[in-house]
Amino acid sequence: MTGDETLFEVTSAHLNTGLRGLPVGTCFTSFVTPTEGVHYCGYPIAELAEQEPEDIVYLLFNKELPNDEQRVKFVEDLQSRGEVPEQINEVFRSLPKDGHPMDWLSIGIHVLGMTCLTGDWKEDALNMVAKMPRVMGLMFRYREGREDNIPEDNLSQTMVQRFVNTLDFESVDKEKMGKIVATYLVLHMDHGGGNLSTFTGKAIASGHANVYSSMAGAMNALSGPLHGRANQSCLEFVLKVGTDDPIKVEEFVRSELEAKRPIYGFGHAVLRAEDPRATVQFALGEKICPDDENFKIIRTLREVAPKVLAENPKISNPNANVDIASGALLHHVGFTDPTYYTTFFGWARVAGIGAQIFDERVVMRDGKGVPIYRPKYIAEGQTLRHLNQ
Ligand code: AMX
C-alpha cells in the first residue's frame, strides 16, 4: 500500500452526506482552490478571463491553450460542426412556452442526439459544443414567439456571434452583449469533477449512454435551485433589494438574515476569498455599465454584505461569489428574464462536461475508460464493518 492510499479513511460519518468530500476520481480539466477559485488545466481563471470561448474549449479538450495556427484551425473545425437539424424548429415550436428554459435546453440537446449522433465520444462532444449557440438562440426565439424572420445561422462567425445573430434583439448593443456572453461562457465552462451536473453527466456516460443523453441528464441536474438555478435566484434577489443606498442595503441584508433567508451571491463551499469570477465580472461591469441600476445595487452589496455576514463566525466565506454579478450584466444587455440565466450556465458547461466525459470514456485507465459508476450502499442496520466480512 502506498502512503497515498492511506490518506483517506471512509467512516460511517461519510454515509448519507451526498458523497461530500469523498475522493472518487481524477479530473484532468479543472480544480478549485480556496483563494484562486477554479483553474482550467492549471491556469487560474483570472488569467483566462480575456480569452475567447473557443480557446477555452480547445484548452479543456487538449489540456493546453492553442497557438495561433491551432486556434485558426480549431475555430474552423467548430464552425464546420455548427449546423443544427431542421427538426429542432418543429420540436421547439411544439413545447409549452411556460415550461422552464432549462427543460427546453435539455430537450434541445436530446433532439441533437436523435439527429446528429456519430457514436464517437469526442466527435459528439465537439459537435454539441458547436451546435449550442444556434440551439440557445432558437430557444429564445421560439419561447418568445419570435418565430418569423429568424436570421440564417452564419457559420463563419464565432460561437457568441452566432448566438447574438440568431437572437437578433432590436435596440441592443450587440458588441456589448457579445462581450458579456463571451466572458460569462469563459468563466462558467468547468468547475472540477464532483459538482452535481458534471458528476451526473459522467455517471450517465459511464453506462455508455451517448454524450447527448448524458449531457441532457447533466442539464437536468444543473436546473435545481440548489445548483445552477442559484444564478436565477441571485438576480431575483438583487431586484428585491431595489436600492443602492448603503444604509438601506445594510438594513435589507440584516432583515433577510433575521428572516433566515440567504444573502444570494455571497458565500462559497470551497473558496475563502471573493470568487475571482465575481471580481472579473465586477471589472467588466465598471467598464461596460457602471450606471446600470442593478449594477449599482450589486456594487453596494459587495461593500456592505461581507461586513454583515462576517459578524456570523459560522459563515466560512462572507465574500461575493460568481453569481452576484452575472445576472446584472446579462440584464443590462436585454436578458431581463432571470429564468433564462441557468441556460447560459448550461451552455457554458457543455464544454467542460463534454471534455470530462471524453476523458473518462476514452483517456483514463490507459484508454480503457472509467467503469460504470457503482458506489456502495449499506443495508439498513449494517455498518461499514459488514463490508469486510
Ligand atoms: N447567507 C446566509 N447564510 C449563509 C450564507 C449567505 N450568503 N453563506 C453561508 N451561510 C450560512 C449557511 O447557510 C450555514 O448555515 P447553517 O450552519 O445554519 O446550515 C453556515 O452559514 C455555514 O455555511 P458555510 O460553511 O459558510 O457555507 P456552505 O458550504 O454550507 O454553503 C453556499 C455555501 C454557497 C450554499 C452558501 O454560502 C449560500 O447559501 N450562499 C447564498 C446562496 C448563493 O449565493 N448561492 C450561489 C452559490 C454559487 C456557487 O457556489 N457557485
Segment 84-111 shows an average pLDDT of 98
- Chain segment 151-176, per-residue pLDDT in tens: 999 999 999 999 999 999 988 999 99
CATH of domain 37-228+337-363: 1.10.580.10
Of 196, 261, 266, best ligand 1 pocket probe by most atoms within 8 Å of the beta carbon: 266
Grid cell 492511506 in the structure block, residue: 6
Q: Please give the pLDDT value at position 385.
A: 79
Banded pLDDT at 41 (limits 50, 70, 90): very high
Instruction: Report pTM.
Output: 0.95
Residue 226 CA to ligand 1 centre (angstroms): 11
Q: Please give the pLDDT value at position 21.
A: 86
Which residue owns the Cα nearest ligand 1 atom 2? Answer: 262
Q: Which residues pair with 33 in a beta bridge?
A: 37
Lowest-confidence pick of 10-24, 82-96, 178-192, 339-353:
10-24
| Residue spans in the chain of domains classed CATH 1.10.230.10 | 230-332
The 10 Å CB-count burial string (b at 16+, else e) for 245-282 is eeeebbebbeebbeeeeebbbbbbeebeebbbbbbbbb
Q: Is 270 in the pocket of ligand 1 (CB under 6 A)?
A: no
Cα 148 to Cα 86, 95, 100, 134: the distances in Å are: 15, 17, 22, 15
Q: Is 228 in the pocket of ligand 1 (CB under 6 A)?
A: no
Banded pLDDT at 94 (limits 50, 70, 90): very high
Banded pLDDT at 382 (limits 50, 70, 90): confident
Grid cell 469526442 in the structure block, residue: 122
The pLDDT of residue 9 is above 90: no
Q: Give the three cell numbers for residue 315.
A: 459563515
Cα 228 to Cα 23, 215, 247, 275, 346: the distances in Å are: 23, 14, 31, 16, 8
The pLDDT of residue 3 is above 60: no
Residue 62 CA to residue 86 CA, distance in Å, equals: 31
Q: Which amino acid is at 211?
A: V
DSSP string of 138-179? HHHHHHTT--TTPPPP-TTS-HHHHHHHHH--TTS-HHHHHH
Catalytic residue chosen out of the listed positions 110, 227, 292, 337:
227
Residue 19 CA to ligand 1 centre (angstroms): 18
- Chain segment 194-213, per-residue pLDDT in tens: 999 999 999 999 999 999 99
Q: Is 278 in the pocket of ligand 1 (CB under 6 A)?
A: no
Q: Is 137 exposed, middle or buried (0-12, 13-18, 19+ CB in 10 A)?
A: buried
Of 190, 241, 268, 326, best ligand 1 pocket probe by most atoms within 8 Å of the beta carbon: 268
Closest ligand 1 atom, CA of 270? 29
Residue 39 CA to residue 367 CA, distance in Å, equals: 25
Q: Is 306 in the pocket of ligand 1 (CB under 6 A)?
A: no
For Cα atoms 335, 276, 247, give the angle at the middle one, nearest 5 degrees: 70
Residue 56 CA to residue 43 CA, distance in Å, equals: 11
CB 116 within 8 A of CB 127: yes
The pLDDT of residue 347 is above 90: yes
Q: Is 267 in the pocket of ligand 1 (CB under 6 A)?
A: yes
The pLDDT of residue 309 is above 70: yes
Of 188, 195, 252, 314, best ligand 1 pocket probe by most atoms within 8 Å of the beta carbon: 314
Strand arrangement, sheet containing 37-40 = 30-33, 37-40, 43-44
CATH superfamily placement of domain 230-332: Cytochrome P450-Terp, domain 2 (1.10.230.10)
Percentage of the chain lying above the pLDDT 70 cut:
98
Q: Is 265 in the pocket of ligand 1 (CB under 6 A)?
A: yes
3-state secondary structure of 372: coil
Look up 386 and say whether it is catalytic: no
Q: Please give the pLDDT value at position 116.
A: 98
Average pLDDT, the chain: 95
| Residue spans in the chain of domains classed CATH 1.10.580.10 | 37-228+337-363
Residue 317 CA to ligand 1 centre (angstroms): 8
Name the DSSP class of 58. H
Catalytic residue chosen out of the listed positions 39, 188, 191, 268:
268
Name the DSSP class of 82. -
The pLDDT of residue 370 is above 90: yes
- Chain segment 261-276, per-residue pLDDT in tens: 999 999 998 899 999 9
Contacts of 204 (CB under 8 A, 6+ apart): 213, 214, 217, 218
Percentage of the chain lying above the pLDDT 90 cut:
91
Look up 100 and say whether it is catalytic: no
Q: Please give the pLDDT value at position 274.
A: 98
Q: Please give the pLDDT value at position 1.
A: 41
CA atoms within 13 A on the CB side of 142: 22
Q: Is 199 in the pocket of ligand 1 (CB under 6 A)?
A: no
The pLDDT of residue 286 is above 50: yes
Name the DSSP class of 366. T
Q: Is 326 in the pocket of ligand 1 (CB under 6 A)?
A: no
Catalytic residue chosen out of the listed positions 55, 124, 153, 323:
323
Contacts of 53 (CB under 8 A, 6+ apart): 158, 159, 160, 182, 185, 186, 189, 348, 351
3-state secondary structure of 37: strand
Look up 98 and say whether it is catalytic: no
